[in-house]
Amino acid sequence: MTMVKNMLSSVEYDGGTYSCVYPWSADSFVKISTTDISYIKEGKMKTKKDVDYKYLFAIFHPIPENISMPDVFIFEKWQKQRIWITGYGINLEEAEKAAFNKYKIVSSCPHTFKNNGDKINGDASCKNCSVYVSELFLHKDIHYAKYNSLAFHKNDFLFDDITVKSHLMSTTQEMAYDPNLNYNDKINLMCAGWMHHTNGQLHYNDLVEKILKYFYLDPKSMNESVILKYYDCVDMIKLLLDKKNYDILKRQIEEGNELIKVLNDLDLPHASFLQSYILMGEQTILILNH
C-alpha cells in the first residue's frame, strides 16, 4: 500500500476532537458517530446503542493506486476519485484500526470489478474485497464532458440559489433514464447535455457538436438542438416550481409552448411530457398571482 506524505492529523466530531493514528491522506473527510441497532418491539421500530461496536469511523478517501481511473473535478480541484472506508469498534481507536485494515485489503486486492447494473453511471463493486467505486465504468466520453464542464462552471449560479452544476446533473439524469433513447443516443446526448451551457467555449467532438447545434434543429433559434432544448426546458420548469421567480418561470413556459409545436411537428415522443410540466408551471403562476 502506498503511504501518503501528507497525513490527516485530527478530526472534529460531536464528542470533541480525535487524533488519527493511521496514515490517511490529509485531504480525506472523516465522519465519526455512535452506532445504533434497530429492532421491532410490540409492532414499533425502536433503536438502541450498539454496545460491542459503539463507534463508526467512516473516511472518504482517495482511491488507492491499484484502482485505475481518470481524475475527477471535485471540491474545486482535479483529483482522484474517492471511496468510503468504514470501521466499527468499542472505541474510536478500534474503529479507526478496523477501517485502516479494510483499506489495506482494498489497496492490495487483485480487484475483479462488476458493473452494478447501470451501464450509464458505471458504479462498480469488487467481487473480492467488496469495495464500491462510483463511476468506475462511466463511459469515457461522459466522464470527459461531465468533469470538464464542472471545472468550467465551478460554483456558478444559474438563478437564485440554483447552481449550473445541479441543473446539468438533473438534466443529464433525465436523459440517462429516458426509455425513448437507446444506449448510444444516451451517451452522445448526455455529453451534449453537460456541454451545452459552455456556449461553445469547450470543444468536444464532431458528433456532440452536431447534437448541440444541428440535431432536430429549430430554425428559429439556430443555436441549440430541439431535443436538447426539451431536456433543458423540462428541468428548468421543474426547478422553478418550488421557487417564486415568476418572470423566469413565465419565460420558460413561453419557450416550452413554442417547443411543443416543433416536437409535435417532428412527431417526437417527448411533447406530452413537456406539456404536463407546462401545465404545472401555469398552475404555479396562478397560485403566485393570488
pLDDT at 151 over 70: yes
Q: How far apart are CA 55 and CA 58, in angstroms?
A: 10
Which domains, from first to last, does the chain contain? 10-110 (no CATH), 140-289 (1.10.3210)
pLDDT at residue 46, as a whole number: 54
**Whose CA is closest to 63, among 132, 165, 161?**
132
Question: Bridge-partner residues for 89, per DSSP?
Answer: 55
pLDDT band at 113; cut points 50, 70, 90 = very high
pLDDT score for 243: 80
pLDDT digits 0-9 by tens, 54-79: 889 999 999 999 999 999 999 899 99
Across all residues in the chain, what is the average pLDDT?
85
Given a cut of 80, whether residue 117 has pLDDT beyond it is no
Q: Encode the chain in three state secondary structure.
A: CCCCCCECCEEEECCEEEECCCCCECCCEEEEEECEEEEEECCEEEEEECCCCCEEEEEEEECCCCCCCCCEEECCEEECCEEEEEEEECCHHHHHHHHHHHHHHHHHCCCCEEECCCCCCCCEEECCCCCEECCCCCCHHHHHHHHHHHHHHCCCEEECCEEHHHHHHHHHHHHHCCCCCCHHHHHHHHHHHHHHHHCCCCCCCHHHHHHHHCCCECCCCCCCEHHHHHHHHHHHHHHHCCCCCHHHHHHHHHHHHHHHHHHHHCCCCCHHHHHHHHHHHHHHHHHHHC
Predicted local distance difference test score (pLDDT) of residue 267: 83
Is the pLDDT higher at 290 or at 48?
290
Has residue 2 got a pLDDT over 60?
A: no
**Above 50 in pLDDT, residue 289?**
yes
Rounded mean pLDDT, 101-123: 92
* Confidence grade of residue 1 (pLDDT, cut at 50, 70, 90): very low
Task: Indicate the pTM of the whole model.
Answer: 0.82
- Position 48 scores a pLDDT of 57
User: Which of 19-28, 54-63, 192-201, 253-262 is least confident?
Assistant: 192-201
Q: Please give the residue that has the higher pLDDT: either 142 or 14.
A: 142
What is the pLDDT, as a whole number, of residue 252? 93
pLDDT of the residue at 262: 85
Q: Binning pLDDT at 50, 70 and 90, where does residue 5 land? A: very low
Q: Give pLDDT, residue 23.
A: 92
Q: What is the pLDDT of residues 30-49, one digit of tens each?
A: 999 886 655 465 566 655 56
pLDDT in tens, 163-207: 999 999 999 999 998 888 888 888 988 998 998 888 778 777 777
Q: Which pLDDT belongs to residue 4?
A: 43
Decide which of 80 and 15 is more confident. 80
Highest mean predicted confidence (pLDDT) among 12-26, 38-52, 133-147? 133-147
Residue, of 224 and 154, whose pLDDT is higher? 154
Q: How far apart are CA 209 and CA 214, in angstroms?
A: 8
pLDDT the model gives residue 119: 74
What is the rounded average pLDDT of the residues 249-260? Answer: 92
User: What pLDDT does 203 receive?
Assistant: 72
